[in-house]
Amino acid sequence: MRRNLLLLDDIVSSLVVYWSAMFSGFNVCLLLACFLLSIFPAASSQTLAERLGYAPGTKLIIVHADDLGETHAVNAAATKALQAGTINSASLMVPCPWFPEIADYAKSHPDADFGLHLTLTSERVYYRWGPVAPLDKVPSLVDTNGYLYHDWEEKQHVNPQEVETELRAQIERALAMGVRPTHLDSHQYRLIMTGKELFDVMLRVAHEYKLPIFVTRDWFANYPYLQQSLGPGDIVLDHTVTIEPEVPPEKWAEFYINALKNLKPGVTEFVIHPGFDDEELRAATRERSTWGSAWRQRDYDFFTSAQFREILAQEKIKLITWRELARVSTGK
């Protein structure tokens, strides 16, 4: 299971082999390489947390806000929470109308940990967006009115080449508008959970742009192709926590408190959806309560609360970001 975490070891061993060959001749090189390879098992047993420089058993979390750019109410809540410091990472939806607002914020806050929330759907009813690529280049992604599909039917054919075109268009627009993303993830997990073909597209694009993608070991059982496609250079988080519609509003804080108190060692991403429950967000999400306006206000409230800070201290949980993970990935 740890074979995906060997990048640093590989880089070290490759360099040693190379320099040894250059300066000391083949035999010395061979001996040194053999020696280094002999200590590999110890190195490869390092967890992601250890590779980040933490003691074994440390509990690390990324508190990650999804969907920035989708509405102003989400941008406003997320940026306020980021400034307060307990929400410490987020990803941006490039095709959405409020992307310029959050791109402008990203430019003036270059240390903010912002990824791109690669978006292939426009899942609301009264408020919608189309693709970034020209409509006629991505016909399998858009409905008859030119919006990204509200949903994907079971047997709908989404063309992987068109997905690649759209992902590249989203990343290029973000770069052109001054965003320097630290990672990539997938809106509604479409690129993760639709099948190997689409996951491979995301992975190929991520490699090309040298960006880590959000994948957790928790998903391997249900989506074994993830593990098959990931290589030794890819970061894999240990766990993820996200609240589900089954949790009633009055149990919201309780759910997160339980998750934090029972947190396993390693790196866990809390995928949350903060937003302000105002006129705009209520109108934009009014067709259903899931991931709606009140839901997002509850997420904002918990993750900016004193209670959340206290539990972090009490449980000795540390916050990390994708920026640090990316450094592990690239060895910088």
- Which residues within the stretch 31-90 sit at the binding site for a second copy (CB under 8 A)? 71-73, 76
- Which residues within the stretch 204-243 sit at the binding site for a second copy (CB under 8 A)? none
Q: Which of 59, 64, 117, 128 forms a contact with a second copy (CB under 8 A)?
A: 128
Q: Does 127 bind a second copy (CB under 8 A)?
A: yes
Q: Does 137 bind a second copy (CB under 8 A)?
A: yes
Q: Comparing C-alpha atoms, which of 87, 145, 101, 97 is closest to residue 119?
A: 97
Residues in binding contact with a second copy, number by CB under 8 A: 36
Q: Does 166 bind a second copy (CB under 8 A)?
A: no
Q: Does 107 bind a second copy (CB under 8 A)?
A: no
- Is 123:151 a contact under the CB 8 Å cutoff? yes
CA–CA dist 32, 45 (Å, integer): 21
Q: Which of 10, 50, 104, 123 forms a contact with a second copy (CB under 8 A)?
A: 104
Pairing of strands 239-241, 266-272: parallel
CA–CA dist 211, 116 (Å, integer): 10
Q: Which stretch binds a second copy (CB under 8 A): 36-44, 52-60, 124-132, 321-329?
A: 124-132
**Which pairs with CB-CB distance under 8 Å and at least 24 residues apart come from 152-158?**
152/121, 152/190, 152/194, 158/120, 158/194, 158/198
Q: Which of 66, 269, 280, 299 forms a contact with a second copy (CB under 8 A)?
A: 280
CA–CA dist 43, 17 (Å, integer): 17
Q: Does 173 bind a second copy (CB under 8 A)?
A: yes
- Is 177:316 a contact under the CB 8 Å cutoff? no
Sites of contact with a second copy (CB under 8 A): 71-73, 76, 96-101, 104, 125-130, 132-137, 144-147, 173, 176-177, 276, 278-280, 283-284
